[in-house]
């Protein structure tokens, strides 16, 4: 099955959008009219940057970062005619790097807040800033899991995937609810599951998917 040219073009546009959003966010986080960010290894250049500005930059950069993955897919498809394996390795390397980079940029607003502490009373608002900047981001992850689970179940039930229909039981939401149930009914076990419940859910999903991919032939796709 050939990838449509329009899809590749749209992916490139999304990659450009990622660069614009992350660039804007990082500008808000780091810009210093004296240019000290380019000369100093300390965080002195962050002094005087308001929490509102860094919070805005934080959300723009962090929420824009994942779009880079779509842009890298565009680059992979453009490189693919020369060498499919090399193009996929390049995609993996840059995708891995940008995910780690997104973790780094997500920390910048907090280091800015720390640098701007002047009195001991300034420490207390850092907790509120943390909740604003990070607890809210977790809601994006939770909504993504819900949306993925709905698509996962709906697609499998069409009967046209590589999965049998019973595999809908391994959708992430149901697996997450299973961890909650174990925690409720068998707390001595559940206490070890709950801190990593989402990882357990995806771990089981990947494990079962790998087993099925080995046991059942998968038609070649491109």
Q: Is the pLDDT of residue 197 over 70?
A: yes
The tens digit of pLDDT for each residue in 177-191 reads: 999 999 999 999 999
Burial class (CB in 10 A: 0-12, 13-18, 19+), 116: middle
Q: What is the pLDDT of residue 4?
A: 86
* Residue 115 vs residue 182, higher pLDDT: 182
The pLDDT of 194-210, averaged and rounded, is 94
Distances 199 to 11, 45, 92 between C-alpha atoms, Å: 28, 38, 21
Q: Given pLDDT bands bounded at 50, 70 and 90, which one contains residue 219?
A: low
Q: What is the pLDDT of residue 40?
A: 56
Percent of the chain with pLDDT over 90: 69
Largest CA distance in the chain: 65
Q: Is 22:65 a contact under the CB 8 Å cutoff?
A: yes
Q: What is the pLDDT of residue 86?
A: 95
Burial class (CB in 10 A: 0-12, 13-18, 19+), 83: exposed
Q: Given pLDDT bands bounded at 50, 70 and 90, which one contains residue 39?
A: low
Q: Is the pLDDT of residue 139 over 60?
A: yes
Q: Given pLDDT bands bounded at 50, 70 and 90, which one contains residue 101?
A: very high
Percent of the chain with pLDDT over 70: 95
Give the count of beta carbons closer than 10 Å to the beta carbon of residue 162.
14
């Amino acid at each position: 099955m050939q990838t449509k040219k329009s899809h590749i073009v749209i992916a490139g546009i999304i990659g450009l959008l990622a660069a614009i959003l992350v660039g804007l966010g990082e500008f808000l986080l780091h810009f210093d009219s004296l240019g000290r960010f380019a000369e100093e290894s300390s965080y002195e250049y962050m002094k005087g940057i308001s929490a509102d500005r860094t919070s805005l930059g934080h959300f723009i950069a962090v929420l824009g970062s994942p779009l880079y993955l779509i842009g890298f897919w565009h680059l992979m498809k453009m490189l693919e005619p020369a060498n499919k394996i090399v193009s996929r390795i390049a995609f993996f390397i840059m995708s891995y790097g940008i995910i780690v980079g997104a973790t780094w940029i997500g920390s910048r607003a907090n280091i800015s807040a720390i640098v701007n502490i002047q009195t001991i009373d300034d420490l207390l608002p850092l907790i509120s800033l943390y909740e604003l900047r990070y607890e809210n981001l977790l809601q994006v992850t939770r909504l993504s899991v819900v949306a993925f689970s709905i698509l996962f179940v709906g697609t499998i039930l069409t009967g046209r995937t590589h999965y049998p229909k019973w595999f809908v039981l391994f959708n992430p939401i149901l697996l997450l609810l299973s961890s909650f149930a174990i925690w409720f009914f068998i707390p001595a076990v559940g206490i070890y599951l709950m801190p990593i419940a989402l990882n357990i859910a995806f771990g089981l999903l990947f494990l079962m998917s790998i087993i099925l991919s080995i046991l059942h032939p998968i038609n070649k796709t491109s």
